Each structure stands twice: as structure tokens, then as C-alpha cells.
Chain A
């Protein structure tokens, strides 16, 4: 093995099923290379567990390049780990010292039941989207691109909001388990564009109702969500959601 390999002590949340009691289980993993991603380190652990005949640790992942929003772990108390603006798959093992203890837990919220170990069910986000995260259009041929003028600043801000990948780290990091950052980003990406204005009022009311119905907490404006967001979605989207809501109900 390469001479710069490190050994890490892992404390991983293990829970055999949704209703089972869980606990932190210790593992020691050797030969971890600094250039490995956090998920590759867990792959290494799981290969070892399989060889030993132990049940591997269940984790969620897909693209492994920070664009799909599937992976998500709370690493040493911080959603998506120590690097800001990065998803769990983008965290490299060089962020950790040789011999360091790393605590790994699932995203925790009553609305995100644990399925197994570190995998949680985030379907609550899909239901919020289904409540209003769309634009109704008459289908047919594509409209002429310049028929509806869009201000450049609005386009940029809408694009920033739309870069939300729905990973749910905002909920995991929020001391109140609020889904305000996610919901507000989705509301903003439509509210800022003329195509989305028609339904803006109805959309914000329905999406907020859906968010509340899912049992997420309220927002205390701590701002932990923005700090852990892999896409650095701004909390000003939450301010916009509140303005849109006020406009819609008045």
C-alpha cells in the first residue's frame, strides 16, 4: 500500500430496519488513501465487511460527482462533512488525519424515516414538488425563444435557485429540521421567471402547505442550511418564499 495511506476509526450508525433500534458501531479501517472520496472509503469498508461475512453498511449514492443529490451523510456532526459547497461524494479523505475518529450518521428528521443504516426515505421532498413544483403549459411546438423577455439578473438568480439538487442536507443540518431552504429554492426558481409567475400564488401556498403537512420544523433563521448546502443555495430564497406567501394570501 502507498506510504501515505491512513487508518481511520469509524463510528457508524447501524439500524437493521425502519422500526429497529439503532446504535453507533465502531470499525477500524486501514489503507485509506487521501485521494479517495468519502464514499470510496466506505466502499473499501464494505468490501472488507463482505469478505468477513458481515452485512455491509447501507449507503445511498448515484452519480458520485456532486450533481444528483443522492448521497448524503452527517459526518462528525456536519451534513456532507467538513468541506463547504460539496456533497458527501466530493469529500476527500485528505480532510481527515491518520487515526482520526469519524462519526457517520444518517440525515435525521421525522419526515425522513431511516430505511436501513445510513439510508433514509426522502420521498417527502417529491411530495412537496408534486404540490406545485412545475409550470403548466399547453403542449405543442416549442415557443420562440425570445418571445418572452427575461431580465438577466432574474435569470441568474433563478438559475442559482434551480441548482438545488434536493439532497436534503438543509433539513439534516437545520436545528429545527426545517425544509425551508429546499422549498424556497424550488418556489424561487419559478417565481423569478415570467413563465412561472402565472401560477406563483397558488404554487407558494400549495408547496408551503405540503411542506408543513410532511411534518418538517419551522425556520429560526440560524442559516446552517446555507452553510452545508453543496450548491450554496442562499437563505434569501427563504425570504423570497415569505414575500411570495404574503403576496399570495393578502
Chain B
């Protein structure tokens, strides 16, 4: 245990933790996006997916995954914030004039804004979970839908209601762009933090990071924009698949 606390207290241990949790979160958002894209296929497809997810492992899958995600987000946020706090202690007096060195440097608006995009993502994740998992502030009440003979939440109707509101769509667009910014530096940086980057593969990892950031951003952006433009709110109490 003391080894573990020593490691997590060291700068290197924090980066290992930040990189590992960051990559695992990248894995999570891929799965999350894949599932959410079913929203584009309509009510049946999405509600069936949601129902199936909740019945995996006799219903234990979702709670287990949620515990895992809370641990991941917490560890990632704490290790990330610690880097930003260490910076203020390590250089209390800044330069009068600062410039980027250029050349081989990978410093960018993306790498210098990790703490800002990260904190925005943290606040977003909490409200996002309250909104869609908790059903807080829901615009109206929803009658259950029938999936495979089981009454289940009409999550599709809730999502469609939210994304018919222009300010909500605008908010999601902004946050997803910030997610892309976070990933543009974050993806390759995580490999470097884990000591897994080498001169041969670095250009590939860096390029893959840019592509990954674009794919995730565009993928997540498509959903609210598509719904806002093309999908009308579901009429109350519709029964599907029953």
C-alpha cells in the first residue's frame, strides 16, 4: 500500500495514472458513441439497445460500469488537476514575454488548454448524467414503452425532447468541440505518459490522435444536430414493439 501511495504521489505516477485513465475514457467514449448512434435509427433501435444494456449480467452490468466510470473520471480529474496545480507552485513568477519555441515542440492551444477543457468536461459529465440517466429537469413525463414484452423507460423520447431545444443543442456542440480539443493533445500524450511512444510510431500515434479527435467530435455532434433538424418530439404515451 505504501508503494502505491508513494507512486501516486510522484509526478511520474500521476502521469501514468492520468494517461491510463485517459485512454480508458477514450475507450468508453467509443462505446458510448457507438450505442448513441442508434438514436439516428429511431425509437425502436435505441430503446431496445438501452433495454438490452440494462439487462446484461442480470442487470448488474450498468451499475458495475457506472462504478468503474466514477472511479475513472475521478482518478483522471484528480491527476489532471494536480498537474495544473503543480505548475502554479513550480513557476509562481511567469515570464514578461513568452513565446512558443516551434520546431519539434507539440505545444498547441490544445495542449495548453487541457485543464480548461477538462474542467468543462467534468461539469458537463455531471449535468449530462443528471439529465439523461437521472431524468432530472425532464420537460415532461413519459409513458413506458414495451421492449420484448417488458415495460421500459422511453429514453428515446427524452433525448429527442432535449435535442429539440436550440440552446441545448448549442451547448452540446460547444462541449463536443472542447472534447475534440482535449483529445487532440490527450490521445498521443497518453501514450507518451505510459512510456509507450517511440520515434518510429510517434507520427502514427499523433496522426491517429488527430483522426480520433475528429471522429469522436463529429460522431457526437451528429446526434443533437440530426435530431434538432429532422426528428420531431415523440407523441406522449406511444407504445413501441408491444
Contact = CB atoms under 8 A, between A and B. Distances in A.
Contact of A220 (B9, B91, B101, B189): B189
Contacts of A111: 90
A215 B91 CA distance: 9
B64 interface: no
Contacts of A234: 199
A226 B90 contact: no
A105 B96 contact: yes
A245 B91 contact: no
A180 B189 CA distance: 15
Contacts of B97: 76-77, 103, 105
Interface residues of B, number: 49
Interface in A181-222: 208-209, 211-212, 215-222
A32 interface: no
A212 B101 contact: no
B99 A175 contact: no
A215 B100 CA distance: 24
Interface in A68-111: 74, 76-79, 84, 103, 105, 108-111
24 contacts: A76-B97, A78-B101, A84-B101, A105-B95, A110-B89, A110-B90, A175-B112, A176-B90, A178-B11, A208-B10, A217-B89, A217-B91, A218-B11, A219-B11, A221-B111, A221-B188, A223-B106, A224-B100, A226-B105, A227-B103, A235-B192, A246-B16, A249-B6, A249-B13
A50 interface: no
Interface of A: 11, 13, 24, 74, 76-79, 84, 103, 105, 108-111, 173, 175-178, 180, 208-209, 211-212, 215-224, 226-228, 232, 234-236, 238-243, 245-246, 249
Contact of A208 (B11, B189, B197, B202): B11
Contacts, number: 142
Interface string B86-116: 1101111111111111111111000110100
Nearest to A77: B99
Contacts of A232: 104
B111 A220 contact: yes
B12 A108 contact: no
Interface string B2-35: 0100110111111110000000000000000000
Contact of A239 (B105, B112, B196): B196
A77 B98 contact: yes
Nearest to B91: A177
B82 interface: yes
Contacts of A216: 11, 90
A222 B105 contact: yes
Most A CB atoms within 10 A — which of B101, B107, B195?
B101
A110 B87 CA distance: 10
Contacts of B189: 220-221
Contacts of B114: 220
Given A221-B192, A223-B104, A226-B105, A236 B86 contact: no
